């Protein structure tokens, strides 16, 4: 077993003097590897190395187009190693290999996209008055901290790291305790290609090295993806240092199905939106809001599709893999166990034993019709393969229900009526609205982020570079 060391200041850190944390394969419950339990001293060292890298002319003198080329090379490297990266991602997360392949391609697209943008981030000239030359210049914001969760490790790492490197920053990635493998793979590459301290990878518990870095006065910007409580803690820590945060905190995203929807198109998309990655997706379509007049037919068709779903490990080529770890598995089962008797469980929601993988964390996909929209499983993010269903009888009611959670990340609207589609899309409080689809092939070019408790700021797209820059205004008074 190869242990995963941290990459700090161009050195591989982690030996017998360090404490190590076990990383478990969720498909089998077996040990995959170990990571270093990073501490405050590691955090200090990483931040100092980033600061030094930013000061050094070795990184400063790399031109924007050269940073772009490096990122394009990274995209090629990711694609050349797609098979191995997908294997590692699938081993770490338990996700089916087909989904891991899609994640690796999405990561390559982020490196490609921001590689292309690196030399296209411009300032402005601002007309004020005669003899005053006024312009803005773009500078890197500095040391950027990227706290990454376990559900899409390489994609989430790539999307913010690529934008930060494109704009000339020094990045520190804190990978999740559950999923260090693909970030380590990228660390090996960047260690060869970038000056030391420009890309660093640290590991350990969130409450330890994660908190130490979030509150570190040397960190200039934080991009965090994960739970709402941790996002709040990170934001509070950043506030003490007056440092900006980009937060992506999940959702309770609805698919709103009107009576004239094309169900042949809607059904596979709705099913995929909740079962992809075993429902452990921030933008999962975890609420189904359906017009009363078509509800029975739609639910029958979704149930039929659920009955053909195979739950199991990546090696079985299953449709739905395991839950990431024992804690999440028990949490989801406990939530399912406490669902009110008035709710109607239409499918699944039970622990599943897979032969030969008895210690894996499997749950059968659930469809649960709620008696009230205030039921906790309709309001709270379960982060598992659980679809909650509510019926509506009018467009206004559908919109009110769509907006009736603390979240606002993504929504799907299903209708053939263009007026109704736009009417609903413009009134749903959500960072993205898909009409007659849900999700869009990675969506690298599309701004992504939340209203309400789903987060702050936007990732993906050309807009994300704004998270990683300072804008300096300079005014020159001419005297002739
Ligand atoms: P989490 O928010 O605790 O962890 C996410 C990342 O933050 C990890 O890298 C973790 O090490 C780090 N972290 C934890 N505590 C920290 C702290 N005090 N300071 C700095 N960093 C810290 O999430 P979790 O415990 O892995 O999962 C719990 C719930 O979070 C899930 O059930 C789900 O609802 C949500 N979640 C959301 C996403 C998403 O994509 N939005 C991803 C994973 C989990």
Same domain, 120 and 206: yes
Same domain, 245 and 260: no
Tokens of residue 33, six digits: 């590897």
In a domain, 207, yes or no: yes
Region 367-379 average pLDDT: 94
Q: Which of 226, 253, 330, 382 to mutate to test the pocket of ligand 1 (most atoms within 8 A of CB)?
A: 226
In a domain, 26, yes or no: yes
Which residues, other chains included, contact 85 with Cβ-Cβ below 8 Å and sequence gap of 6+?
78, 100, 104, 107, 154, 182, 185
Same domain, 393 and 269: yes
In a domain, 365, yes or no: yes
Same domain, 62 and 23: yes
Over the stretch 302-329, which tens digit does the pLDDT of each residue have?
A: 999 999 999 999 999 899 999 999 999 9
Query: Could you tell me the distance, in angstroms and rounded to a whole number, from the CA of residue 327 to the centre of ligand 1?
Result: 12
Q: Which atom of ligand 1 is nearest to the CA of 213?
A: 20
The answer to whether the beta carbons of residues 90 and 102 sit under 8 Å apart is no
Same domain, 225 and 199: yes
Confidence check: pLDDT of 441 > 70: no
**Residue 276 domain boundaries:** 254-443
Same domain, 155 and 274: no
Tell me, using a 6 A CB cutoff, whether residue 219 lines ligand 1.
no
Residues designated as active site: 248, 282
Domain count, the chain: 2
Query: Could you tell me the distance, in angstroms and rounded to a whole number, from the CA of residue 176 to the centre of ligand 1?
Result: 8
Over the stretch 24-33, which tens digit does the pLDDT of each residue have?
A: 999 999 999 9
Q: Which atom of ligand 1 is nearest to the CA of 231?
A: 2
Nearest CA to 174 out of 234, 89, 115 is that of: 234
Nearest CA to 362 out of 303, 312, 315, 328 is that of: 312
Claim: this prediction has a pTM higher than 0.85: yes
In a domain, 478, yes or no: no
Same domain, 302 and 212: no
Tokens of residue 323, six digits: 């839950």
Q: Which of 148, 230, 333 to mutate to test the pocket of ligand 1 (most atoms within 8 A of CB)?
A: 230
Separation CA 8–CA 170 (nearest Å): 12
The residue to which tokens 């029958």 are assigned: 300
CATH of the domain at 438: 3.40.309.10
- Kindly report the backbone phi and psi dihedral angles of residue 475, in degrees, each rounded to the nearest multiple of 5, phi listed first: -125, 130
Q: What is the pLDDT of residue 317?
A: 85
Closest residue to atom 18 of ligand 1, CA basis: 207
Same domain, 146 and 190: yes
Q: What is the mean pLDDT of the chain?
A: 97
Burial 261-300 (b: 16+ CB within 10 A, else e): beeeebbebbbebbbbbbbbbbbbbbbbbbbeebbeebbe
Q: What is the pLDDT of residue 1?
A: 74
CATH of the domain at 220: 3.40.605.10
Same domain, 307 and 219: no
């Amino acid at each position: 077993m190869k242990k995963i060391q941290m990459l700090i200041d161009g050195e591989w850190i982690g030996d017998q003097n360090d404490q190590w944390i076990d990383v478990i394969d969720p498909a089998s419950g077996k040990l995959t590897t170990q990571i270093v339990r990073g501490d405050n001293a590691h955090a200090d060292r990483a931040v100092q190395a980033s600061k030094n890298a930013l000061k050094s002319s070795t990184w400063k003198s790399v031109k924007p187009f050269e940073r772009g080329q490096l990122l394009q090379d990274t995209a090629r490297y990711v694609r050349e190693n797609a098979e191995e990266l997908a294997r590692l991602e699938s081993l770490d997360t338990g996700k089916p290999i087909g989904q891991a392949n899609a994640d690796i391609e999405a990561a390559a697209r982020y490196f490609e996209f921001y590689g292309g943008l690196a030399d296209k981030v411009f300032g402005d000239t601002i007309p004020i008055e005669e003899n005053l030359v006024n312009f803005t210049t773009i500078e890197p914001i500095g040391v950027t901290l990227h706290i990454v969760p376990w559900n899409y490790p390489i994609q989430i790492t790539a999307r913010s790291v690529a934008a930060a490197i494109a704009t000339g920053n020094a990045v520190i990635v804190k990978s999740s305790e559950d999923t260090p493998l693909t970030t380590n793979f990228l660390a090996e590459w960047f260690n060869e290609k970038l000056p030391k301290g420009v890309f660093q990878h640290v590991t350990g518990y969130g409450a330890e090295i994660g908190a130490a870095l979030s509150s570190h006065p040397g960190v200039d910007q934080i991009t965090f993806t994960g739970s709402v409580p941790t996002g709040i803690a990170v934001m509070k820590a950043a506030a003490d240092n007056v440092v900006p945060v980009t937060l992506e905190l999940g959702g309770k995203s609805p698919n709103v199905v009107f009576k004239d929807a094309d169900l042949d198109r809607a059904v596979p998309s709705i099913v995929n939106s909740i079962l992809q990655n075993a429902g452990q997706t921030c933008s999962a379509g975890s609420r189904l809001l359906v017009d009363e007049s078509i509800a029975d037919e739609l639910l029958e068709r979704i149930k039929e599709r659920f009955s053909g779903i195979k739950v199991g490990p990546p090696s079985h080529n299953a449709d739905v893999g395991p839950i990431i770890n024992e804690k999440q598995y028990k949490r989801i089962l406990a939530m399912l166990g406490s669902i009110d008797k008035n709710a109607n469980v239409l499918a699944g929601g039970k622990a599943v034993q897979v032969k030969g993988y008895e210690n894996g964390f499997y749950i059968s996909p659930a469809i649960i019709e709620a008696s009230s929209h205030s039921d906790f499983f309709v309001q709270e993010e379960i982060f598992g393969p659980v679809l909650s269903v509510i019926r509506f009888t009018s467009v206004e009611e559908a919109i009110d229900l769509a907006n009736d959670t603390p979240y606002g990340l993504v929504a799907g609207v299903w209708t053939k009526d263009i007026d109704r589609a736009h009417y609903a899309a413009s009134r749903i409080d959500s960072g993205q609205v898909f009409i007659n689809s849900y999700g869009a092939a990675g969506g690298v070019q599309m701004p992504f982020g939340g209203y309400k408790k789903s987060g702050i700021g936007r990732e993906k797209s050309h807009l994300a570079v704004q998270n990683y820059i300072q804008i300096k205004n300079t005014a020159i008074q001419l005297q002739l």
